[in-house]
Amino acid sequence: MKRYYYANSIKNFLRDSNEEIVGELSINNTFNSDKNQLDAWIKEIDILKDALTKFDGNILFEFSIPRMGRRIDVVLLIKNVIFVVEFKVGGKEFLMNAIDQVFDYALDLKNFHETSHVHLIAPVLVATEARDMFSNIASTPHNDNLLFPIKTNARSLNDVIDSVLLFADGGNIDSESWMKGRYSPTPTIIEAATILYNNHSVENITRRDADAINLKQTSTAISEIIEKAKVENNKVLCFVTGVPGAGKTLVGLDIATKHLDSKNSTSSVFLSGNGPLVAILREALTRDKVKRQKEIGSKVKKGDVLREVKMFIQNVHHFRDECLIDDKRPPFDHVAIFDEAQRAWNHAQTAKFMLRKKSIPNFSYSEPEFLISCLDRHKDWAVIVCLVGGGQEINTGEAGIGEWIESLNRSFPKWQIYLSSKLNDSEYAAGNALELIRKRKDAFIIDELHLAVSMRSFRAEHLSTLIKHILDINVEKAQESFKLIEHKYPIILTRDVTKAKKWLKERARGSERYGIIVSSQAQRLKPHAIDVKSPMDPIHWFLNDKDDVRSSYYLEDVATEFHVQGLELDWACVTWDADFRYSNKGWGTYSFVGNKWQNIHKEETKQYLKNAYRVLLTRARQGLIIVIPNGDAEDPTRRSEYYDCTFEYLKKIGFEILI
């Protein structure tokens, strides 16, 4: 499948008539080309024919960027430069969102398009009716052959191309090889959900290298399990495991979107107990669909779109409540994908909630057992897909994966079980329940149900391993892991929040998202203008633009492990408080109560706090800065010794120090 609507040598482009070019663009356009689009193409063609008369090279119109679900207006391959050209036909100003847009396109090629990695990339924003202006042509601070966006009008495009070519060095681009270059994106979960919801498949928006190939294999294996259950009228519980950031949620969304067809009785629902994740994904899908409809001249009400999205992505607790209304009627969906299944509530937590919030005394189910019972109401078939992360339980009352297995063994012996081969690893806390499963004839172990490679950071697949060694206080292995990523994934250590904020702003390009994240127990960061108890809306924090004070970009509101679990930033600042301290005896865990820090003695709560920092330290895709405050001798709640040992410990790993 071609990534472009029209491609030709510049020489042949200049010879082709406008009608021939627009005709080819229209034929390859998967959507109807309305008059506005046709007029824009004609204007772009006229401008380019004037600007390119003295250049040799190649031109491509509407080059696909699958990760973003968008297309670059024009790509020019001239000598040793890739020009990424975005037109704003009729535009008189250079709006910030347009500048970020063309920068994002260029970044996408630089990061994910194999044959673009080594060449100079020049993003060019053409506001056709803007006044003449001098646009400084300079490289970014990253020194990776990517220029800052160049702003120009229609008249000056020729001069801009000339200036960049004088600035550039390196070998000329082989256009044929460039167009065949492998595109290997790693989208954020928000980007992935948006594109999957627009009928793309997981293999079109993810990496294609050997390490990541099992993402497609896992999705295929689950689809085959679902189809087999449907044909044979079986009920199945399927466990998918994976390292942090390996793409478990991505696989779940892929399966859910593939089985949205209610006409074939395979309707599916994506369930999560992660309230912020559900709210953010719903809002992102809704905003995107409203925007896309507007672009093609169709008006839709946001409320109508949101209602449709809510059927696809649901909070597991709301799904549960619907099943409580009628305890005999099966849910509409035959396939339920439960994200972060290890976080389902145990019996005590579920019964406590039911009594307090629902006035239901003596509730006899744990959350896993009740959810299985809901799907068990179907008379024909049903499938529950549990997406399981290791070492990520971060809240009181979370049952871990063992309760799912014990519920099956206790109450649903006729259900089949499909297991990842890694479910027996200690980090998944399946416990003795696995021994009982092995005795069952209807339990099947499938290697493809484990995702072994982190996909969150396209620069640092080894990040989760590094963080594991740090938290396990294995300095030697942490140092080895860091050496594998230090040249492509910066991890900086500092004691100054202000300098950390400056570092984030300098590193991020285009609309790359950055923000400050802290532990939910970090209550003594107020002197640094960080109030963990201050209300924040995760939808605004994750989705709103740079000009919105509620967004992460403003670096005023902070997110905790509960807000960012399952999501990611491009660049993150983790500000480390005295709740989790290193000492020669190991990690000390503390809770701030009243006016002082108190030791946490409960082993379960200690583990939750450790896992909170695991979540925080694995959120960034491109780079991380860690702030360990200096403390204050005059403040007994922020003594220097509460922070210094942690700083010195992390310093041993080899992180660069920002003074």
Average pLDDT over residues 188-217: 70
Question: Is residue 417, in this structure, part of any structural domain at all?
Answer: yes
Question: Is residue 381, in this structure, part of any structural domain at all?
Answer: yes
Distance CA 224, CA 146 (A): 43
Average of per-residue pLDDT values in the chain: 89
Cβ neighbors of 274 (< 8 A, separation 6 or more) are: 339, 340, 343, 565, 566
Helical (H) or strand (E) element with 443? strand 443-446
Do 55 and 134 belong together in one domain? yes
Pick the closest to residue 396 from 590, 603, 164, 552 (CA basis): 603
Q: How far, CA to CA in Å, does 205 sit from each of 65, 201, 387, 512?
A: 9, 7, 20, 18
- Angle of the 367-375 helix axis to the 316-325 helix axis, nearest 10: 60
Extract the tokens encoding 479.
Answer: 């140092």
Bridge partners of 315, per DSSP, are 272
Q: Provide the 3-class DSSP secondary structure of residue 572.
A: strand
Helical (H) or strand (E) element with 196? helix 189-197
Question: Is residue 457, in this structure, part of any structural domain at all?
Answer: no
pLDDT at 584 over 50: yes
Extract the tokens encoding 204.
Answer: 């079109």
**Other Cβ atoms closer than 10 A to 323:** 18
516 band by pLDDT with thresholds 50, 70 and 90? very high
CA torsion angle for 525, 530, 531, 536 (degrees, to 10)?
A: -150
Q: Residue 372 has what pLDDT?
A: 95
Do 131 and 30 belong together in one domain? yes
Distance CA 273, CA 337 (A): 12
Average pLDDT over residues 594-616: 93
Question: Is residue 458, in this structure, part of any structural domain at all?
Answer: no
Full domain range(s) for residue 59: 6-179
Distance CA 155, CA 150 (A): 14
Query: Residues in the chain, how many?
Result: 659
Q: Provide the 3-class DSSP secondary structure of residue 496.
A: coil
Do 438 and 507 belong together in one domain? no
Pick the closest to residue 87 from 140, 146, 157, 138 (CA basis): 157
Do 417 and 548 belong together in one domain? no
Do 103 and 236 belong together in one domain? no
Do 269 and 169 belong together in one domain? no
Do 513 and 373 belong together in one domain? no
pLDDT tens, position by position, 52-106 = 999 999 999 999 887 777 899 999 999 999 999 999 999 999 999 999 999 999 9
Question: Is residue 190, in this structure, part of any structural domain at all?
Answer: no
* Structural contact between residues 251 and 259, judged by C-beta atoms closer than 8 angstroms: no
* Structural contact between residues 346 and 397, judged by C-beta atoms closer than 8 angstroms: yes
Number of Cα atoms under 13 Å in the Cβ half of residue 262: 6
pLDDT at 377 over 60: yes
Extract the tokens encoding 563.
Answer: 């807000």
CATH number of residue 421's parent domain: 3.40.50
Helical (H) or strand (E) element with 336? strand 335-339
137 band by pLDDT with thresholds 50, 70 and 90? confident
Do 262 and 394 belong together in one domain? yes
Residue matched to tokens 């896993």: 368
Distance CA 506, CA 578 (A): 28
Q: Residue 211 has what pLDDT?
A: 46
Instruction: Using the 3D structure, point to which of 395, 422, 451 is the last residue of a domain.
Output: 451
More confident residue, 628 or 603: 628
Distance CA 116, CA 204 (A): 18
Q: Residue 188 has what pLDDT?
A: 83
Question: Is residue 511, in this structure, part of any structural domain at all?
Answer: yes
Distance CA 642, CA 358 (A): 43
Question: Is residue 289, in this structure, part of any structural domain at all?
Answer: no
* Structural contact between residues 628 and 580, judged by C-beta atoms closer than 8 angstroms: no
pLDDT at 484 over 80: yes
Do 213 and 359 belong together in one domain? yes
More confident residue, 593 or 262: 593
Say which DSSP state 374 is in: H
Overall number of domains in the chain: 3
Pairing mode, strands 580-583 and 569-575: unpaired
Extract the tokens encoding 335.
Answer: 């396939």
Question: Is residue 605, in this structure, part of any structural domain at all?
Answer: yes
Angle among Cα 387, 389, 395 to the nearest 5 degrees reads: 110
Distance of CA 122 to the CA centre of its chain: 26
Do 501 and 610 belong together in one domain? yes
Do 496 and 635 belong together in one domain? yes
More confident residue, 170 or 520: 520
AA letter at 258: K
Pairing mode, strands 450-451 and 235-242: parallel
Angle among Cα 621, 624, 625 to the nearest 5 degrees reads: 165
More confident residue, 442 or 280: 280
Distance CA 582, CA 165 (A): 53
Distance CA 187, CA 570 (A): 11
- Angle of the 603-617 helix axis to the 463-471 helix axis, nearest 10: 150
Q: How far, CA to CA in Å, does 47 sit from each of 50, 85, 466?
A: 5, 12, 51
Distance CA 136, CA 643 (A): 44
Q: Provide the 3-class DSSP secondary structure of residue 149.
A: coil
pLDDT tens, position by position, 277-327 = 999 999 999 999 898 888 777 888 999 999 888 888 999 988 988 899 888
Do 496 and 582 belong together in one domain? yes
Average pLDDT over residues 605-616: 93
Sheet bearing 70-78, strands edge to edge: 6-9, 58-65, 70-78, 81-88, 120-127, 150-152
Q: What are the respective helix, strand and coil percentages of the chain, to the nearest 5?
A: 45, 20, 40
Q: Residue 470 has what pLDDT?
A: 97
